[in-house]
Amino acid sequence: MAVTRLLPAWRRSRRTEPDRSDPFVAALVAALSPDRVRVDATERRLVAHDASIFGGGRAGPVVFPETVAEVQAVVRLAAEYDRALVPRGAGTGLAGGAIPLAGAVVVSTTRMNRLLSVDPVNRRAWVQPGMINLDLTRAVAAHGLHYAPDPSSQQACTIGGNVANNSGGPHCLAAGVTSQHVLAVEVVLPDGRVVVLGGEDPEPPGLDLRGVYVGSEGTLGITTAVLVRLTPDPPAVTTLLFGFDTVTDGAATVGAVIAAGIVPAALEMMDRRITRAVEEFAHAGYPTDVEAVLLVELDGPPGRVAAEAAAVERIARDHGAGYVRVAADDAERALLWKGRKNAFGAISRVKPDYYLHDTVVPRRRLVEVLEAVYRIAEAHDVIVMNVFHAGDGNLHPLLIYDAREPGAVERVHAAGAEIIEASLAAGGVLSGEHGIGVEKRDFMNLFFSDVDLEQQARVRSAFDPACRANPGKVLPAGHSCADIAALTAVPDGVWV
């Protein structure tokens, strides 16, 4: 994989401290303020990583705008000095999408974190991109509303980052991912213009550029405000936990539930290894003597929820569920979800590092691909734990390792590449919610034809003909206009 050869070389680059008298830096300071333009090596090193295993990027100045006008000023200066830009939220991304390459300016939107307005009657709100996902739900809770997309990192990830990656979450099976909950996006384009894509009308005129923008991973502009759709809190919720003697029985239950015409709010599955790690970490009351657990949540009118819960329990028992637990109250429900939401943190009790994958496969081929994942991990001598959104086939294999062990990183990358290939061979897709970033950029040719990629490049070029917006991401070399030139525009040793 090309990126794994490039990044270690960047880590070996000579590091120098840039002079704040640099004309570009001086112009940024004049547009913002000295305390909101950071050039010290420590600050830049911190933003050279995200939550993925793809570290070693190189950041230029790190800027913290607080208004749309300030974002415009930064973008226009970048155009004047021919510098690349990388928008960044909380840095919780798992595909390397927010890693700055070759001295790009990092535009942090973390100070643009306010709830701008709430319309509880029409169930929508304007929010700034730096607002934390869970904070939005807390802010509108008094209206009996919530924001449905709930990534596992929702206590830290931002709405702008969710828009960039079209993020999902456990409760997106019935509700849909971010794109179904974004009505409009205010964007500063790479030439400095401000546009609103979408709108408050149910059917805004013209092309659906909002749909094009959501999931574009910062390659089309910088988000400065988002009009989100809010969802009413359900009148009734029931959460069930099932334990199975085999992963196959659990996966078969998933298919049977959907085949019965029941679409739960959430349908999550974990294998034995991750269940044990979660239980030792969160003490959620998960059974540790089963091979797989299935967490099912149903919501809606009380009568329907009760009938569906009874049907789901019957289906699970028919498919070999030997452990059945129904959350008795909100406290027990929260405890069960605490276990699921903290699954990735729990693995630190096993090994210090992990590579979290994200592919989607047809539900009917879940068992086949899971078996392939186990075989691949064993062949590369890597520990794997599986936790995933079973309802829509969104797999999240966790490859557990210790980067200090010789050869461990290489084995993990090799296993990861084979997992991607196995998922695609089963009729799957590259990503369900984490995005492409640098992680899967060089796998795009396996899924898309040259014609497909060229059309994507044309769309990108329409927004950003100079390729200054998050260069080097998503599209592979040869289909990404001026990406290669942008990556080499800043001389080595200037911003390293």
* CA–CA separation, 122 and 227 (whole Å): 12
Q: Are 281 and 288 in contact (CB under 8 A)?
A: no
* CA–CA separation, 352 and 336 (whole Å): 24
* Same domain (yes/no): 119, 225: yes
- Residue 440 covered by a domain: no
- Cα 160–chain centre separation: 11
Residue with tokens 């300016």: 105
Instruction: Supply the DSSP symbol for 491.
Output: P
β-partners of residue 480 are: none
Per the structure, how many domains does the chain have? 4
CATH code assigned at 102? 3.30.43.10
Structure tokens at 346: 């729990």
* Same domain (yes/no): 361, 329: no
Residues 6 or more apart whose Cβ sits within 8 Å of residue 4: 413
| Percentage of residues in the chain having pLDDT higher than 90 | 85
Q: What is the pLDDT of residues 108-131, one digit of tens each?
A: 999 999 999 999 999 999 999 999
For residue 488, is pLDDT > 80?
A: no
Burial of 287 (0-12, 13-18, 19+ CB in 10 A): middle
CA 210 vs CA 126, 164, 206, 480: distances in Å: 15, 11, 11, 21
Q: Which of 344, 373, 390 is the last residue of a domain?
A: 344
Structure tokens at 290: 């089963």
Instruction: Supply the DSSP symbol for 239.
Output: E
- Residue 451 covered by a domain: no
Q: What is the mean pLDDT of the chain?
A: 91
The distance in angstroms from the start CA to the end CA of the chain is 23
Question: What's the confidence (pLDDT) of residue 145?
Answer: 98
Structure tokens at 89: 């939220």
For residue 225, is pLDDT > 50?
A: yes
Residue 481 binned pLDDT confidence (cut-offs 50, 70, 90): low
* Same domain (yes/no): 339, 358: no
Question: What's the confidence (pLDDT) of residue 16?
Answer: 41
- Residue 432 covered by a domain: no
* Same domain (yes/no): 340, 404: no
Question: What's the confidence (pLDDT) of residue 317?
Answer: 98
* Same domain (yes/no): 67, 147: no
CATH code assigned at 418? 3.30.70.2740
- Residue 438 covered by a domain: no
The average pLDDT across 40-61 equals 90
For residue 228, is pLDDT > 80?
A: yes
CA 334 vs CA 51, 330, 435: distances in Å: 25, 6, 28
Question: What's the confidence (pLDDT) of residue 19?
Answer: 57
For residue 316, is pLDDT > 70?
A: yes
* Same domain (yes/no): 244, 288: yes
Question: What's the confidence (pLDDT) of residue 18?
Answer: 46
Q: Which of 344, 374, 405 is the last residue of a domain?
A: 344
* Same domain (yes/no): 312, 374: no
Structure tokens at 429: 């897709």
Q: What is the pLDDT of residues 446-472, one digit of tens each?
A: 999 999 999 999 999 999 999 999 999
- Do the bridges between strand 59-63 and strand 104-108 make them parallel or antiparallel, or are there none, so unpaired? parallel
Question: What's the confidence (pLDDT) of residue 349?
Answer: 80
Q: Which of 382, 408, 425 is the last residue of a domain?
A: 425
**CB count, 10 Å around CB of 437?**
27
* CA–CA separation, 118 and 125 (whole Å): 4
* CA–CA separation, 219 and 284 (whole Å): 40
The average pLDDT across 224-242 equals 98
* Same domain (yes/no): 241, 228: no
- Residue 492 covered by a domain: no
Q: What is the pLDDT of residues 247-305, one digit of tens each?
A: 999 999 999 999 999 999 999 999 999 999 999 988 999 999 999 999 999 999 999 99
Residue 9 binned pLDDT confidence (cut-offs 50, 70, 90): very low
Give me Rg for the CA atoms of the chain: 23
Q: Give the neighbor-by-neighbor strand order of the sheet with 222-229.
A: 115-119, 124-127, 222-229, 182-188, 194-198
- Residue 494 covered by a domain: no
- Cα 128–chain centre separation: 18
Provide the whole-model pTM: 0.92
Domain that holds residue 404: 351-425
* Same domain (yes/no): 182, 122: yes
CATH code assigned at 149? 3.30.465.10
For residue 90, is pLDDT > 60?
A: yes
* Same domain (yes/no): 86, 178: no
The average pLDDT across 151-158 equals 94
β-partners of residue 266 are: 297
* CA–CA separation, 233 and 137 (whole Å): 10
Residue with tokens 């269940």: 275
Residues 6 or more apart whose Cβ sits within 8 Å of residue 14: 492, 493, 496
Residue with tokens 């008298």: 21
DSSP characters for 315-330? HHHHTT--EEEE--SH
* Same domain (yes/no): 364, 287: no
* CA–CA separation, 176 and 148 (whole Å): 8
CA 14 vs CA 17, 60, 235, 239: distances in Å: 10, 14, 59, 54
For residue 440, is pLDDT > 50?
A: yes
Residue 102 binned pLDDT confidence (cut-offs 50, 70, 90): confident
- Residue 452 covered by a domain: no
- Residue 36 covered by a domain: yes
Q: pLDDT: is 379 or 13 the higher one?
A: 379
CATH code assigned at 292? 3.30.70.2190
Q: Are 495 and 24 in contact (CB under 8 A)?
A: no
* Same domain (yes/no): 133, 59: no
The average pLDDT across 184-211 equals 94
Residue with tokens 């903290």: 342
